[in-house]
Amino acid sequence: MKITYLGHAGLFIETQFGSILCDPWYTPAYFSSWFPFPDNEMLMRTKVGCKPTYLYISHLHQDHFDQTYLKQYVWSGATVLLPDYPLPLLERALRNIGFTRFRQTTSGQWLNLNRLKVMTLATVSPSDGPLGDCALVVDDGKTRIFNQNDARPLDLTPLLEDGRPVSAHFLQFSGAIWYPMVYDYPEQMMRTLGGKKRENEMARALYYIKQVKAAHVFPSSGPACFLDPSLFQYNDFDCDSTNTFPDQVVFLDYMKEHGYKNGHLIIPESCLMFEQGTVTIKHPYPELGIRESIFHHKKAYLEAYQRRQLSRIKANLAAHSCQQISIVAALKEWFEPLLAQADYLCYGIGGRIVLDCGDEAIVIDTLSRQVYAWNREIDWKYYFRIHRSLVEQCIATRQEDWVNALFLSFRFIAQRKGTYNEYIYTFFKCLSEERLRYAENYYQHKAEAISTFEQHGYRIQRICPHAGADLSRYGSFDLEQGILTCKMHGWQFDLKTGQCLTSEKHLISIGPSKDADSVEKTYTQRSPCSHCWFRQEESLKK
């Protein structure tokens, strides 16, 4: 098996039974805020992987689904390996740019492709990517690789249960979110939150490394770099312990500090040859030079990269000029019918969201289910200050997922009263009846699920209310502090009250164990992590 690293989450996998192109990304994403790091533009021109047997796109985030590149460069006759998602959003997007051949996968089950075996591990909660994220396992009979990219599978059993060793593990370790840098916080608070976020990101990656036990680990899927002068300070130039975007070299050092010396640095055009359990890595130039020119002198490298791209950034942003439409009227017509149906989301948000576009400010009121102009006296729960041209662009293109366009651009300032509220961003992912119906059904069935386990004298709700992780497996107890931590995303709960210490509006069921000597007891009616219920209900409706 030969793998050419394309940058970010991009892989071109070549086997004797066919090739797979995974998540190629070259085009600046999110209103030209994100660029691949290191620069991979030269690799795009070589057209490596442009005629694959199979195409695999893990999810619809723009740094994984590069619509421009796929449409212009990739052979449309490739067979697409579709993740097991309950909504056909990814298939629809690929059909729109010319792909017609598809093989549906089933999460956690092997699919045979002419002696090449593949398996997807899909996560499908509204908080996963753009309503879903997915990892890929590839096995050619001699070598097994786990392309986790930035997915966070809750159950690795299907990957590990047959006991076959994993030769290579590709996974995200760095930040890919706007928190905390866009929030209007004092400097010291920002640094404290940034440091905690950075540590959680790398600790989560290390947790997966420990579980998979791959022979070789390749940090990938980030970080992106930020070349617009207004965002340039978000890059981690000098291993700042409070920056949420540590690079590959930082994480490799982190692995070594924790006893893992099987990590490898790769850059775009690095070739990995797997043979009889060993890997040979060939870089486009010597690794010592790579570390020196790209990572040890990172600021100079990014400044040169910025100079090459600055005119492109300016041109892209200039294309989104203000049309001076009535944003209030447009969002009222669009959002109010959705709010009328969004019982669980509106309850979860429980307040008003303000979009301040300067000369026009809008209230999205989840209490009255209305959209109206903000008079700057009405109280709010979340406040966003965003340039009107970006909001107008989302309206003009009828963006059904503002997270995957506007919020991931980092081009806004936010304030909030209280802690993080996932329902707000879920609403902005679900700006169509199809998406909203899925989210509402998900939260309904999640609320109805009854599942508990007993440990350390407590009887506790099994399912974490954030993303559905099994707390009996992913829960970590600090009995001295009285805190239960979900290791999947770092959410914490008070063991006395069940109150979430990370996000408001979340409460887990917790009480004294019926049997203090019991290790674990389970009472389950249904699993809210499965999305079978959604397909079943949709079938019944039809």
Q: Per-residue pLDDT for 280 more than 70?
A: yes
Q: Report pLDDT for 504.
A: 65
Rounded to the nearest integer, the mean pLDDT of the chain is: 91
Query: Of 1-15, 201-215, 397-411, 456-470, which range is least confident?
Result: 456-470
Superfamily of domain 327-438 in CATH is SCP2 sterol-binding domain (3.30.1050.10)
The pLDDT tens digits of the residues spanning 424-445 come to: 999 999 999 999 999 999 988 7
- Contact present, 192 and 241 (Cβ < 8 Å): no
Mean pLDDT, residues 310-336 taken together: 93
Q: Report pLDDT for 96.
A: 98
- In the chain, ranges of CATH 3.30.1050.10 domains: 327-438
- Contact present, 173 and 149 (Cβ < 8 Å): no
Measured from the Cβ of residue 494, the count of other Cβ atoms closer than 10 Å reads: 16
In this structure, what token pair is assigned to residue 480?
A: 């001295």
Higher pLDDT, 112 or 469: 112
The pLDDT tens digits of the residues spanning 301-319 come to: 999 999 999 999 999 999 9
Measured from the Cβ of residue 288, the count of other Cβ atoms closer than 10 Å reads: 9
Q: Report pLDDT for 449.
A: 54
In this structure, what token pair is assigned to residue 427?
A: 């609403």
Higher pLDDT, 489 or 342: 342
Q: Report pLDDT for 522.
A: 36
d(CA 358, CA 377): 15
- In the chain, ranges of CATH 2.102.10.10 domains: 450-525
Higher pLDDT, 519 or 462: 462
Q: Report pLDDT for 464.
A: 84
Sheet strand arrangement including 413-416: 370-373, 361-365, 352-356, 382-385, 413-416
The pLDDT tens digits of the residues spanning 386-423 come to: 999 999 999 999 999 999 999 999 999 999 998 889 99
- In the chain, ranges of CATH 3.60.15.10 domains: 2-312
d(CA 453, CA 519): 8
228 — pLDDT class (breaks 50, 70, 90): very high
The pLDDT tens digits of the residues spanning 36-91 come to: 999 999 999 888 999 999 999 999 999 999 999 999 999 999 999 999 999 999 99
Q: Per-residue pLDDT for 524 more than 50?
A: no
Higher pLDDT, 522 or 335: 335
Region 450-525: CATH code: 2.102.10.10
In the chain, % of residues over pLDDT 70: 93
Q: Report pLDDT for 196.
A: 96
Q: Report pLDDT for 39.
A: 98
The pLDDT tens digits of the residues spanning 237-269 come to: 999 999 999 999 999 999 999 999 999 999 999
- Contact present, 367 and 301 (Cβ < 8 Å): no
The single-letter code of the amino acid at 165 is P
In this structure, what token pair is assigned to residue 69?
A: 């590149």
In this structure, what token pair is assigned to residue 412?
A: 């806004």
Higher pLDDT, 377 or 198: 198
Region 2-312: CATH code: 3.60.15.10
The owner of tokens 């690929």 is: 94
The single-letter code of the amino acid at 330 is A
